[in-house]
Each structure stands twice: as C-alpha cells, then as structure tokens.
Amino acid sequence: MASVAEVSRLVDEILTAARPAAEQESAELLQFARRVSGNGTLTLQLWDVELYADALREARFNVSADTLREYLPLPAVRSTLFEVRCCSGCAIAQHSAQLSACHTCDTIINR
C-alpha cells in the first residue's frame, strides 16, 4: 500500500503534467465563449463552462452531448464499467443503493 507521501508525490506529478494542457484548454474555451457571445470581456462562470464546452465540442467535432448520450446510455455504461472491472482486476465495487439519473444534469445520485 502506498504511503501518504507517495500518494502526495503522485498527485503533484499528475498536476504538473496536466496543468499546461488544462490551462491551454481553458484559454481556448474562454476565447471561444467570448467569440460566440460577442462579449470580448466575458468571464466564464462555473455554470457557463458546460454550455460553452458542449458548443465548442459541437463546433470542432460536430458532436454534441445529446448525440453522445444516445450511444452511451447510463445502464449500458454502468454494466460495461463492471465488465471492464472483471477483465482488468480493478477494485471497483457496485454500490448496493438504488441509483437514478438526474433529468437535468445526468449525474448519478443516491436515493
């Protein structure tokens, strides 16, 4: 089992490696949002990010979240997750509580 120091070091390494790409993507998203909105001084708020990210994805790749949702329904994703676990040996356990998808955001919530 990893020590706290080893886990902290791993997290630091991941952050160091991922930060430049994340900052680049954030800058591209802000530039896109400003162009689409017509507001050159727009500041992205947390609640704006998903809207503009989906619009950017659609503009770049002609794929929207709604389109992906058709091909990745929650029950299929959930069952595939546990199939992958069986093949790879990952320690993912299925929760015994009943789960449902929120209609507005598709996040999984406990009942």
Q: Could you report the per-residue pLDDT of 30-75, keeping only the tens digit for each?
A: 999 999 999 999 999 999 999 999 999 999 999 888 888 888 888 8
Of the candidates 24, 97, 1, 66, which has an alpha carbon nearest to the alpha carbon of residue 108? 97
Alpha-carbon distances, residue 104 vs 5, 20, 72, 100, 107 (angstroms)? 40, 32, 16, 12, 8
Quote the pTM value.
0.60
Cα separation, 81 vs 31, in Å, equals: 35
How much is the pLDDT for 71?
A: 84
Do 98 and 111 meet the contact criterion of CB atoms below 8 Å apart? yes
How much is the pLDDT for 84?
A: 53
User: pLDDT at residue 95 above 70?
Assistant: no
